C-alpha cells in the first residue's frame, strides 16, 4: 500500500464500505472544535471546483453567498 492509499484509508474512511455522504460527514465531524473550519474549507473547495467545471457560475455563487449574510 502506498502512502496515498494509507492516508485515504486512515484519514477519510476510504475502503470501509461507506457511501460518499457518510465519508464526507465523518471527516467533517471527526475532530471536535475543527468542524467549522473543515466544513468551510470543504465547501470552499467544492464551490471552486464547481465554478472551475462550469457547473456553477460566479453569479450563481454570489447569489448563494448573499443568502448567508
**pLDDT value for 57:** 92
- pTM confidence score: 0.61
**pLDDT value for 46:** 92
Where residue 3 falls (left for φ over 0; alpha for ψ -120 to 50; beta otherwise) is alpha
Q: Where are the domains of the chain?
A: 1-30, 33-69
Which set of grid coordinates corresponds to residue 42? 470543504
**pLDDT value for 4:** 72
Over residues 9-63, the pLDDT tens digits come to 776 666 667 777 777 777 777 766 666 788 888 888 899 999 999 999 988 988 8
Segments in the chain forming alpha helices (H):
3-11, 20-29, 35-52, 58-66
Amino acid at each position: 500500500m502506498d502512502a496515498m492509499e494509507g492516508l485515504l484509508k486512515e484519514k477519510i474512511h476510504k475502503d470501509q464500505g461507506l457511501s460518499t455522504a457518510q465519508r464526507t460527514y465523518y471527516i467533517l465531524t471527526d475532530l471536535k472544535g475543527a468542524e467549522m473550519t473543515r466544513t468551510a474549507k470543504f465547501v470552499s473547495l467544492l464551490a471552486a471546483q464547481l465554478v472551475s467545471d462550469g457547473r456553477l457560475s460566479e453569479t450563481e455563487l454570489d447569489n448563494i453567498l448573499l443568502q448567508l449574510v
